[in-house]
């Protein structure tokens, strides 16, 4: 799966997928063949951090 390169679009895409299809960040990352560390670093660059209790970046 091609993930958006723009961090704001990536944020929207990931949160939508987490809300609608995936029970955890790990499951999403497995299906997209990306490491959770790489994804969280990309979104941390725009000051968004994964909140496991909500299964979203905020």
pLDDT at 13: 98
User: How many domains would you assign to the chain?
Assistant: 1
Report the predicted TM-score, pTM, of the whole model to 2 decimal places. 0.94
For the chain, percent of residues with pLDDT exceeding 70: 100
Measured CA to CA, the distance from residue 22 to residue 44 in angstroms comes to: 20
Residue 53, domain member (yes or no): yes
Measured CA to CA, the distance from residue 22 to residue 55 in angstroms comes to: 9
> Domain range holding 48?
7-57
Q: What is the pLDDT of residues 1-58, one digit of tens each?
A: 799 999 999 999 999 999 999 999 999 999 999 999 999 999 999 999 999 999 999 9
pLDDT at 1: 77
Mean pLDDT of the chain: 97
Measured CA to CA, the distance from residue 33 to residue 54 in angstroms comes to: 22
Residue 2, domain member (yes or no): no
């Amino acid at each position: 799966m091609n993930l958006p390169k723009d961090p704001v679009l990536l944020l929207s895409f990931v949160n939508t997928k987490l809300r609608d299809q995936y029970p955890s960040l790990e499951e999403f990352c497995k299906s997209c063949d990306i490491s959770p560390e790489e994804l969280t670093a990309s979104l941390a660059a725009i000051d968004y951090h994964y909140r496991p209790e909500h299964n979203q970046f905020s």
